[in-house]
Chain A
Amino acid sequence: QTVVTQEPSFSVSPGGTVTLTCGLSSGSVSSGYYPSWYQQTPGQTPRTFIYNTNTRSSGVPDRFSGSILGNKAALTITGAQADDGSDYYCVLYMGGGMVFGGGTKLTVL
């Protein structure tokens, strides 16, 4: 069974740029997997951030952007702020269903 892979953790300095990735244990991620990204702060409900690879949901700051980089989907934060520290999950559409990555815990310090 194909696994969706994400970095377990990442750290970025305030004002810095960071790119989180979403890959496959076998194969490459393309736009045909309709990558989406969800932010979850501890104890809170997940919030939809990016869908269809690079479309920001309503209210998401434009410092967040989605793309395909090489063989992975990517979420880039440009000019990170302290409250961007959260868990970020990617989801790929595969085989008629959805598969979550394991999530990346982003620390801003």
Chain B
Amino acid sequence: KNEVEQSPQNLTAQEGEFITINCSYSVGISALHWLQQHPGGGIVSLFMLSSGKKKHGRLIATINIQEKHSSLHITASHPRDSAVYICAVKGAQKLVFGQGTRLTINP
């Protein structure tokens, strides 16, 4: 079993839909990151969380430390949100990554 599990692996939705991507982890962490990787391959850091909730534009990330679970939400999704979303947890120093969720938003 991987230390970081994401679900779903693939998600296709229509423009405007509310999107939720889940991340569960089995190790103790100091922080959790949500990353976005576009088809061109570049990686952008969206959020870093150690507790609670963060919001940036249409993106919301939450984390429940007791349940070892985090969610990434996208409101009013748009085709430009199509990308791979990656959850990564940080212990002492290094990041451990989930396999990613491939999101496709159709117009």
Q: A and B: partners? A: no
Chain A residues with CB under 8 Å of chain B are none
Chain B residues with CB under 8 Å of chain A are none
